[in-house]
Amino acid sequence: MMVSMAQPDNHNPDFSTRLKVSVAVAAILSVWGVFEYFSFESDYQKQTHDPYAIVAQADRLDGVRKVTSENAVLGYLTDAEPGSVIASAIFSGAQYVLAPRLLQPGASQDWVLGNFTRPADFAAVGHGHGLRVEQDFHNGVVLFRKEAAK
């Protein structure tokens, strides 16, 4: 007894015109939606700036990143009002940019990052915490080192 195997149907299925038009309209609407989204996003980005300069932190802190080891634990000083939004934003921004280095508020570490929002006598600020300026990277970024005990 011979078993015949069914031959596959080699011709293309005939899709209805209605289905073809529906798929074309869906594709056109999708492409149009992408252009509208990017236009909206571009306008939004032009109107909304980064009020805490988080993006600029990478450039500001580049020198500190280059001179400290990746496993460093740095103290952290700032002149921003403790608990304020700006203090939290610049601390979090610095912590993000300097990762995997760790930042701990205060001056108890041997190395301390000074992240200041305005010019000051950084040597005097450091001296008040038992620190000396190791390197001033300008733009409010200072690396302090604990002064040797006398």
Mean residue pLDDT across the chain: 88
Whether the model clears a pTM of 0.85, i.e. scores above it, the answer is no
Please state, in angstroms and rounded to a whole number, the distance separating the CA atoms of residues 144 and 2: 92
Please state, in angstroms and rounded to a whole number, the distance separating the CA atoms of residues 112 and 82: 17
- Cis amide leading into 100 (omega within 30): yes
The pLDDT, as a whole number, for residue 100 is: 96
The pLDDT, as a whole number, for residue 9 is: 57
Please state, in angstroms and rounded to a whole number, the distance separating the CA atoms of residues 63 and 141: 9
- The pLDDT of 118-128, averaged and rounded, is 94
Helix or strand run (H / E) with residue 80: none
CB 94 within 8 A of CB 57: yes
Give me Rg for the CA atoms of the chain: 30
Residue in 103, 99, 70 with CA at minimum distance from that of residue 88:
103
CB 136 within 8 A of CB 112: no
pLDDT tens sequence across 47-105: 777 766 677 888 899 999 999 999 999 999 999 999 999 899 899 999 999 999 999 99
